[in-house]
Structure 1
């Protein structure tokens, strides 16, 4: 059975993710003066610091160049701390100012998360969580399988 692009699972998920991201970007820019990339970086460092630039880029699904630009902007605003790590790596974490911003951002993110989940029953939430986990696992496996050799 052939379907149109608008019926493809990947297209539908992309549309929903983009809508969620656009509204998040608007709120985080308005309320906290950060871009979506900056928000994700701050959130990851708030949850898992210290992180190297490479690890941070992988977690945020950004290439190293994009992450480097985001980190530079955050560093210029005094939101990051840099410490020497093993070899030539630099470990990144949030400064005191960055941690304060993180608290506000994560609170807003949790409010948004709750607002989206309120339209689902508890059973629907569990099914969605399970389905997303399965789809992510399969997507990673297909990505490895389809990668050039």
Structure 2
């Protein structure tokens, strides 16, 4: 017997449904900082994710960026193409395999990353200020545990979140 057959009266209420709540919260958190970098740098959320990943680990392929961000490959390709066009990232094809190309921040891309990073960290501090240090550690631990269930085949981020 399936679980839904065991609970025929069970109702889905979005306001209490964890995946919905996490998605809406993620969008709200992202939207606040996205407004700043869209306004000041004309960069979308998707473009910022690529810049942020390359700011931490320059020289990744589009596939590696997609794997780290869980963005779909076409979205990474479109965002990377527009960033390349604007000289924010560079793309260097692999001599052995022309389908592979390393993405790197240009000087302009590093300047944008350096300008946004402290603001992003300040926003994180603002969010976490509403929690005690214990609650913050607990939140990071709970998110990591849920990530292992949602994506059991790979770690979505480092265990420490640092």
Q: Is the shorter-chain TM-score for this pair beyond 0.5, marking a shared fold?
A: yes
Three-state SS of the structure 2 residue aligned to 1:81 is strand
Gaps (5+ residues) in structure 2? 1-6, 154-162
Q: 2:14 aligns with which of 1, 5, 8?
A: 5
Deviation at 1:66, TM superposition (A): 1.1
| 1:105 corresponds to | 116
Q: 2:72 aligns with which of 63, 67, 84?
A: 63
Three-state SS of the structure 1 residue aligned to 2:152 is helix
Q: Which structure: greater helix fraction?
A: 1
| 2:31 corresponds to | 22
| 1:147 corresponds to | none
- What do you get for the CA RMSD once the two structures are aligned? 1.6
Please identify runs of 4+ aligned residues in structure 1 that moved more than 3 A. Answer: none
Deviation at 1:76, TM superposition (A): 0.8
The two structures have a TM-score, normalised by structure 1, of: 0.88
C-alpha separation between the residues in 2 aligned to 1:48 and 1:72? 19
Matched residue pairs, number? 142
Q: Could you tell me whether the CA contact under 8 Å between 1:51 and 1:91 is conserved in 2?
A: yes
| 1:134 corresponds to | 145
Of the two, which has the highest radius of gyration?
2
C-alpha separation between the residues in 1 aligned to 2:43 and 2:23? 23
| 1:42 corresponds to | 51
Deviation at 1:51, TM superposition (A): 0.3
Deviation at 1:47, TM superposition (A): 0.3
Gaps (5+ residues) in structure 1? 143-149
C-alpha separation between the residues in 2 aligned to 1:41 and 1:27? 17
